Structure 1
Amino acid sequence: MSKTGALDLASGLGGKIDKTQVLSAVEKYEQYHVFHGGEEEERKANYTDMVNKYYDLVTSFYEFGWGESFHFAARWNGESLRESIKRHEHFLALQLGLKPGHKVLDVGCGIGGPLREIARFSSTSVTGLNNNEYQIARGKELNRIAGVDKTCNFVKADFMNMPFPESSFDAVYAIEATCHAPDAYGCYKEIYRVLKPGQCFAAYEWCMTDSFDPSNQQHQKIKAEIEIGDGLPDIRSTRQCLEALKQAGFEVIWEKDLAVDSPVPWYLPLDKNHFSLSSFRLTAIGRFITKNMVKALEFVGIAPRGSQRVQDFLEKAAEGLVEGGRKEIFTPMYFFLARKPPSESQ
């Protein structure tokens, strides 16, 4: 069950940021990015502040538009967006071979939509790792409503420095989350540390594909739009992610860009030429209504100042994602399944 009303959206805007400070937080966030003169190294050095500001600012918008699971999915013809998202989560659980009683870690769990779905699907206990207070508070409330609060929990921490002993988990997964890490190797190495020997890590990564040309200005513009609209320090290539996994010590069982074979384009929900009643809020008309609703709520003082600016950079992200998908230079679902060797000597 997700927030659905305009007043719910307005009350959540800004997350844990004081409502009077939302505009200054938006301005600070924007300054990290290329469109406002920001540099990649500054984004990496200050990724904790940047990503926290981002999720405080956008979580209510995400939940209003997407529901509880903030990710894309490969999709079959005739399948709804919601059905495809659930299947995407179930697929990951099956690849990991999750069994009742397993202790599982969700790295960068958002408000816990996938966590709850996977826990119920596999009868496992899932710990959600997140560094954003507002999302954790919202996730705990949704866990209680879903009745999984006794078996699933949240830990506030940075995934570059996890507060867990070595070999704590039977499985680890990340869904479109570790793209926020300033360094893929450092993040994967920490995941490797907390995973039990012989067990697996699976993820959907946001990546630039082999078709991305760094010397192409249009390609660079699309990449910059995705980075500002989605709180990313830098978007790595699929090859960089694969190399970082191996350097961290993982055996890569298999990897593939699942966007390639998706019968329905993953970016279709954001395409302005597409209309859907089931995901109406993501369509051009739905986003136009949301934009004007936020404008009105900000004007009358219900939504904090700066809310419309957040809507603007999310719109920029949507444009970048659609163009990146059409040109096949970007994917949100580079999938890999990797295993920690049964013994360190291997």
Structure 2
Amino acid sequence: MSKAGAMDLATGLGGKMDKSDVLSAVDKYEKYHVCYGGDEEERRANYSDMVNKYYDLATSFYEFGWGESFHFAHRWKGESLRESIKRHEHFLALQLGLKPGHKVLDVGCGIGGPLREIARFSSASVTGLNNNEYQITRGKELNRIAGVDKTCGFVKADFMKMPFSDNTFDAVYAIEATCHAPDAYGCYKEIYRVLKPGQYFAAYEWCMTDSFDPNNETHQKIKAEIEIGDGLPDIRLTGQCIEALKQAGFEVIWEKDFAAEAPVPWYLPLDKTHFSLSSFRLTAIGRLITKNMVKALEYVGLAPKGSLRVQDFLEKAAEGLVEGGRKDIFTPMYFFLARKPLSENQ
């Protein structure tokens, strides 16, 4: 069960950082990004600090509006957002062939919504890797409530330097998480190292599509809005992900952009022209109510100063995501299934 009330949102704002430090953290986070004079190289060099600040600042907003699984989903007509998110996770488990007794790694697990769903669906044991202390604290509590704390857990670490031995896991997956990596090859190489030979890695990646034109100012503006609103050092092209996988040693079994032919647009929950009672907090009216609520909480001192600015850059992200989807220049669900060969010579 996710936190739902206004007071719970206020309590979580700022994550583990001291509430008096939130405003300065917002200042520093914003300055990493193009909109505020930052550049890609600085974001890459300081990706760990940037991403940690982002999730300390944004996690409560995500959980308040989105639930426990912070990702989009391929969605069928007549299917609710919640149903599509669960199916999106089940599909991943099926592609990996997860079974009872399998030891699985979730790379960049957030507060563990997918981890818990996949563990219950497959009866596998799942370890969530995350470098944000606040998200791990929330995840542990939610694991306990869900009753999966005996078979599932969390490890606090950077996915560019995993604290696991070679050939540890029976399967690895990542859901809209490795886009935070400053270097796709370095991240995939670490995943390759900890995965057992002959086993599979599957992911949904955030990517710019082949329709993205780097010389188009509108396209660049959309990309910059997504980067600042979602804590990203850069957004890679789909082809760059595949090339990085191959360089890391993986055999790519198949790949597909599930956003390209989704019956219901993936960005619909964030589209201000769309209204839904089942995901009311994501609608234009719901987001306006949340913004005014945060403004009031900050004014009376229940939410730390800077909270409204976090709401603002998340709004900017939503606008960028919707426009990126409409123009078909961005996808949050570029899927691939890759296999680690049984031997280096295979």
TM-score class, shorter: over 0.9
Mapped pair 1:243 → 2:226? no
In structure 1, runs of 5+ residues without a counterpart are: none
* Secondary structure of 1:69 counterpart: coil
Mapped pair 1:34 → 2:65? no
* Secondary structure of 1:155 counterpart: strand
Mapped pair 1:222 → 2:225? no
Q: Distance in 2 between matches of 1:179 and 1:336?
A: 14
Q: Distance in 2 between matches of 1:212 and 1:76?
A: 26
Note the aligned Cα RMSD (angstroms).
Answer: 0.3
Name the structure 2 match of 1:182: 182
Look up the equivalent residue of 1:228 and give its one-letter code. Answer: I
Following superposition, the deviation at residue 138 of structure 1 comes to 0.3
Look up the equivalent residue of 1:79 and give its one-letter code. Answer: E
* Secondary structure of 2:77 counterpart: coil
Name the structure 1 match of 2:253: 253
* Secondary structure of 2:264 counterpart: coil
Q: Distance in 2 between matches of 1:59 and 1:231?
A: 12
Name the structure 2 match of 1:130: 130
Q: Distance in 2 between matches of 1:63 and 1:94?
A: 26
Name the structure 1 match of 2:167: 167
Mapped pair 1:328 → 2:328? yes
* Secondary structure of 1:206 counterpart: strand
In structure 2, runs of 5+ residues without a counterpart are: none
Name the structure 2 match of 1:337: 337
Match runs of 1:289-328 below 5 Å: 289-328=289-328
Following superposition, the deviation at residue 260 of structure 1 comes to 0.9
Following superposition, the deviation at residue 344 of structure 1 comes to 1.8
Q: Distance in 2 between matches of 1:284 and 1:326?
A: 17
Q: Distance in 2 between matches of 1:145 and 1:261?
A: 37
Q: Distance in 2 between matches of 1:218 and 1:170?
A: 43
Look up the equivalent residue of 1:32 and give its one-letter code. Answer: Y
Q: Distance in 1 between matches of 2:236 and 2:14?
A: 28
* Secondary structure of 1:255 counterpart: strand
Following superposition, the deviation at residue 85 of structure 1 comes to 0.1
Which of structure 1's runs of 4+ aligned residues deviate more than 3 A?
Answer: none
**1:112-150 alpha-carbon deviations (Å, 9 max, x no partner):** 000000000000000000000000000000000000000
* Secondary structure of 1:65 counterpart: helix
Q: Distance in 1 between matches of 2:52 and 2:322?
A: 25
* Secondary structure of 1:335 counterpart: strand
**1:270-296 alpha-carbon deviations (Å, 9 max, x no partner):** 000000000000000000000000000
* Secondary structure of 1:199 counterpart: strand
Q: Distance in 2 between matches of 1:190 and 1:345?
A: 19
Match runs of 1:1-346 below 5 Å: 1-346=1-346
Following superposition, the deviation at residue 297 of structure 1 comes to 0.2
Look up the equivalent residue of 1:105 and give its one-letter code. Answer: L
Q: Distance in 1 between matches of 2:271 and 2:121?
A: 31
TM superposition score normalised by structure 2: 1.00
* Secondary structure of 1:42 counterpart: helix
Look up the equivalent residue of 1:316 and give its one-letter code. Answer: K
Q: Distance in 2 between matches of 1:48 and 1:70?
A: 19
Following superposition, the deviation at residue 24 of structure 1 comes to 0.3
Q: Distance in 2 between matches of 1:342 and 1:328?
A: 38
Q: Distance in 1 between matches of 2:70 and 2:36?
A: 26
Q: Distance in 2 between matches of 1:217 and 1:4?
A: 39
State percent identity of aligned pairs.
87
* Secondary structure of 2:174 counterpart: strand
Following superposition, the deviation at residue 261 of structure 1 comes to 1.3
Q: Distance in 2 between matches of 1:283 and 1:342?
A: 48
Following superposition, the deviation at residue 345 of structure 1 comes to 2.0
Following superposition, the deviation at residue 343 of structure 1 comes to 1.1
How many residues end up aligned between the 2 structures?
346
Following superposition, the deviation at residue 93 of structure 1 comes to 0.3
Following superposition, the deviation at residue 178 of structure 1 comes to 0.0
* Secondary structure of 2:71 counterpart: coil
